[in-house]
Amino acid sequence: MTVQEATDPQAWDAFLAAQQFRPFLQSWMMGEVFRDIGQKPIRLEVRNGDELSGICLAIVVPAKRGRHLAIQYGPVLSSKLSTTHCPLVLQTLIDELTRIAKQHRCSFIRMSPFWPEPTPYALRPTPYPSPLHLLAEHVWYLPLVTPNPWEQPQQLAASKPQARTEEELLMAMRKTTRNLIRRAEKEGVEIVASPDPVKDVEAFITLHDETRKRHHFTPYSNAFFRAQVRRFSARNECTVYLARYQGEVIASSIHMHAYGETSYHHGASTQKFAKIPSSYLLQWTAIRDAMKRGDHIYNFWGIAPEGVPKHPFAGVTLFKTGFGGAALPLVHCMDFPLSPSYTLTRIFEHVRRWRRGF
């Protein structure tokens, strides 16, 4: 078993596409997005002979609170691995990530894998639970076919998936959600999939800045939005949606399409027309477009866990769950300390979490 730097984008993405869970954040192109904003991507692959057994995209993050190696929804291990080989592949990756992180003067590794709870692997050294989440850890998703690809992958592989109909999805929604979709249509809201995403991401950024100030959250940088849309839209893997009302863009979103899944990654709206339910019609339009593409999953991204009313995703949870679907709880983000300075980072983030009230 060997671990090495990956050099073949096609082999990387083909491997990711073949797995049960295939987060686009571990795609080859996502590494280029981070490179565009000045953060170095590290791409590792583990091979057992000639067979690819696992991949991991990590990013060197020069954060003020502590330079670290961030792994977003990775590593991704082959679904063909036995229960004996999975821990070996994972440990091989972690050992190499530790070596690389030290080489880049990182004080810790932060790993937020896309693994359903409970944690399926024992890791060495034993990681610390991260004070803060790196990504959504309670994912709300809508299966667009039966059987459910995230719950019954074996049944799906053995039979042709059956697409759900629009009528089935509408009836599975909360009644209020259905009514708000219809109301937006009657009010004259128009949803447009931008023909020029690189240009129209600027409208999204304007709305996102207003949304950030309204809800007081720490956003991705505008450079990140621009790089993500430019890189992925060139491959038809990104859509910028615009909701227009009375001649103005009042809501917008960035949706990602990769490996048979659509992800609602970023959203924004204006307070000026807060009573116009444009975001409901926008989501329904994106769902219908995903069905037309033949996608199997519509991923709404993060919701708040039960019993945490001040969680950053609490405000969007009722909105997202109203469209029907299911929750997928993921394992909590974990840290691997590499230097004594990690203690200061940990204290700082615990204080930040306390101040945020969750």
pLDDT along the chain (358 residues), means of 10: 96 96 97 97 95 97 90 95 90 96 97 90 88 92 94 76 96 97 97 97 95 76 96 97 97 97 96 95 98 97 88 88 97 96 92 78
Q: What is the pLDDT of residue 358?
A: 67
Q: What is the pLDDT of residue 306?
A: 86
DSSP string, 89-125: HHHHHHHHHHHHHHHTT-SEEEEE---BSSP----SS
Q: What is the pLDDT of residue 107?
A: 96
Q: What is the pLDDT of residue 123?
A: 84
Which amino acid belongs to residue 90? Answer: L
Q: Is 301 left (phi over 0), alpha (psi -120 to 50) or beta?
A: left
pTM of the model: 0.94
Task: Give SS3 for 76.
Answer: strand
Q: What is the pLDDT of residue 218?
A: 66
Write out the residue limits of the CATH 3.40.630.30 domain(s) in the chain.
2-135+332-356, 140-329
State the architecture of 140-329 in CATH terms.
3-Layer(aba) Sandwich (3.40)
What 8-state DSSP symbol labels residue 26? G
Which amino acid belongs to residue 19? Answer: Q
Class level of CATH domain 2-135+332-356: alpha beta
Cα(239)–Cα(229) distance, rounded to whole angstroms? 8
Non-local CB neighbours of 197 within 8 Å, separated by 6+ positions: 229, 233, 238, 239, 240
Query: 269 and 251 in contact (C-beta within 8 Å)?
Result: yes
